[in-house]
Amino acid sequence: MIYLAIFVLWFTLLRFGVVVFNILGRQWLREGETENYPLVSVLIPARNEEENIAALLDELLQHDYPNLEIIVYDDLSTDATYETVSAKAQKDTRIQLLKGSVLPEGWMGKNHGCHRLSLHAHGEYLLYLDADVQIKRGLIKNALAHVARHRLDLFSIFPTQKMHTPGELLTVPLMNWILVSLLPLVLTRIASWSAFSAANGQFMFFRAEVYHCEQFHKTLKNQKVEDIAIFRLMKKKKYRVHTVLGNRQISCRMYRSWDESVMGFSRNVFDFFGGSKVLAFLFGIITTLGFIPVMLALPPVFILAWFLLIVLMRAMIAAASRQNVILNLLLAPLQQLSFMFVMLKAAILQYKKNTVWKGRMIDK
């Protein structure tokens, strides 16, 4: 028991160090300047996004970056997405609307939409945005400055997450809780090992020459977690890539309920651990039940040290992610249980090959 307790304490200290490293390294999008304004193609795959798409298009049309083309791919939406975008396109020629087609065999829906969008893009850079994000002035200019500073071929951002319902508050913070405590984000840029990979499909900023050469969404057309798969492939091919946190310049309300959050994270939770269910469940067990050996086997001073590490780590992750620190601390035990539930749900769905997202079966 004592060895298990020491391991839990050591692992907690290691994760704490990763969080401190990310914060001291300022791994979020910062202000920057660009010397010129190359054409940026903003590419938006949309399926049943009538509640979100109009707001994003308005923000893009009013954005302070002067050289944009905006292309939306309506992926056979059953709501008013197509009509909403069409009305906007008739009023502003910067918007183009592509009508979706039947999904070909072997493709994931988003990958097919992203590939179709790339065929119509003329920009020097391709910026893929999800339809449910919100952006602020300066985002594209600052992203271009970051890309130029580090000579990147792909730059990805984890947006600040908006949460309103209890179900969202119990699940959505898990994403950054895993990311910021396990991965020194600077290593996504400076390390060649593909294990140091992270990306978010809500914001993927490609150098167009590289993208058109490799056609990443076509190459990985059957990947249901295409963002991380693309990032790993680019690392293996020696392209320059980087992922950071959003710093409120881009935000998103990913899900709107407990059920939607659980189903959404069930699609990709294991990909945070390189696709390994074993590593994911070990992480879950250690972080959920690790207090038991610590409290049973260690002296009070070490128990206190472990507890303070957990609290400080949670607080710093919430602050770095621009989330409510106090609320995340109060909800931490329930978030931990939610994490275990999401993994169990994901394992069951994958075993049954029964994962459905936006009306499509995504397990093969």
Residues 6+ apart with CB under 8 A from 157: 29, 143, 200, 202, 203, 205, 243, 244, 245, 246, 249, 250
Signed CA dihedral, 106, 110, 111, 114: sign only: positive
Look at residue 351 in the predicted model and tell me its pLDDT: 80
Domain map (residue ranges) of the chain: 2-24+265-359, 40-255
The per-residue pLDDT for 356 is 61
Measured CA to CA, the distance from residue 332 to residue 12 in angstroms comes to 15
Cα(162)–Cα(55) distance, rounded to whole angstroms? Answer: 15
In the chain, which residues have pLDDT < 70?
Answer: 354-364
Quick one: tokens of 214?
């490799």
SS3 string, 124-171, reads CEEEEECCCEEECCCHHHHHHHHHHHHCCCEEEEECEECCCCHHHHHH
Instruction: Please give the CATH superfamily to which domain 40-255 belongs.
Output: Spore Coat Polysaccharide Biosynthesis Protein SpsA; Chain A (3.90.550.10)
**Whole-prediction pTM value?**
0.93
Task: Give the residue among 340, 341, 332 at the shortest CA–CA distance from 310.
Answer: 332
In the prediction, which pLDDT does 229 show? 95
